[in-house]
Amino acid sequence: MKNNLYIGLSGGIASGKTIVSDEFSSLGADIIDTDIIARELIFPGSETLDEIVSFFGEIVLLSDGNLDRKLMREIIFNEKDKKITLEKIMHPKIQDEVKLKIQSASGCYQIIVVPLLHQSPILNFIHRVLIIDCNEKIQIKRLIKRDNITEQLAKKMIRSQSKREERQSIADDIILNEGSIEEIKHQVKKLNDFYMKISSS
């Protein structure tokens, strides 16, 4: 891989990873989002989707042949062994795609967005970890609004992930996303200046 600076951006569900990565993008940073890669890998007829259907059954398909993401989310949040199986299918393919995108990136540093970074092999080759942080009450409120789900499911989704303290423990940098968009922009600008500086040193 190229000798650039790789920043792993992570955080709990509904912590604001997309808002932050969009701000970095507006400043010219290369963004490699593993959620987007995952969606691109499971188009109808793809080898990856065939593997998923082979294990989970055709019940996980919508009538148009696309993956029923809502049903899959409920399955993996309720059955840990199936979550592990899905990760075994997806993680190696996602990592390969990340490395390909790094090769074609043009900036002096890359932001690699990984929701569960502490569980991902991508952690092994990044240089710094940036955690987007907020308290659980805010996460629950955002999840209910974003996904139109019950508070009970929102809490279950949050608690199926790593604890806030565990995410913070691997962080080199933290952005607190509990205020206004202007506060986010200010924090991102400071980190962008910092990353530009260390990537050129």
Give the pair of three-digit tokens for residue 86.
């899905």
Over the chain (201 residues), what is each successive 10-residue block's mean pLDDT? 82 93 95 95 95 96 94 87 92 93 88 87 92 94 92 87 87 94 96 93 78
Assess contact for 120 and 98: CB atoms under 8 A.
no
Instruction: Report which of 76, 100, 102, 70 is spatially closest to residue 89, judged by C-alpha positions.
Output: 76
* Per-domain residue ranges of the chain: 5-199
pLDDT digits (tens, 9 = 90+) for 132-183: 999 999 999 999 999 898 999 899 888 878 788 888 899 999 999 998 999 9
Alpha helices per DSSP H over the chain:
17-26, 34-41, 47-56, 69-78, 80-104, 136-147, 151-159, 164-169, 181-199
Q: Is it true that domain 5-199 has CATH number 3.80.30.20? A: no
pTM: 0.86
Beta strands in 122-167 (DSSP E): 128-133
Measure the CA–CA gap between 19 and 110, rounded to whole angstroms: 16
Give the pair of three-digit tokens for residue 73.
């989310």
So what's the pLDDT on residue 119? 77
